Amino acid sequence: MDIRMDNGLLLASCTLSYQNTSALINNVLIDTGCAVSIFDIDLMEAMGLKPDCNSARIVRMYGVGGGSEACIEQEVHNLCIDNHICRQFRIQLGPIQSEYGFEAILGNDFMLACGLTIDLRQLTVLQHHARDVLFLN
């Protein structure tokens, strides 16, 4: 995952794969203050991931300042971001590209699920195996 700082924001370029479709997405916000990951609904629909009427649900996404907007939450199977596979992963879908200019926001749920650490000095993302992760109480 290639990361960079842009106006104080941590942005990434990565390959997003779902089923048999892959896309290079260049405007991904890495947001460690965000509990969940959200993907642009139009991008995901173009890749074949459409909201599932049986399992998706409408939830509210809250941001800094208390503002909120509705988005769709659903579980996806085998979503791959670079070489990080999320087998059963709950994501949010919303119009974030038109609203905020991002194709996706990767939150703490993704970082924890994949065991990722961000090195801000080197602007790299490191993956740790479960045995390498130290959990503090």
What's the per-residue H, E or C state across 60-103?
EEECCCCCEEEEEEEEEEEEEECCEEEEEEEEEEECHHHHHCCC
Q: Please report the domains of the chain, with CATH numbers, ordered by start residue.
A: 2-132 (2.40.70.10)
pLDDT of residue 65: 66
CA distance 46 to 69: 22
Write the burial class of residue 90 (CB in 10 Å: 0-12 exposed, 13-18 middle, 19+ buried): middle
Q: Please give the model's pTM, rounded to 2 decimal places.
A: 0.84
Q: Which residues pair with 107 in a beta bridge?
A: none
Average pLDDT for runs of 10 along the chain of length 137: 90 87 90 90 89 86 74 85 81 90 91 87 78 39
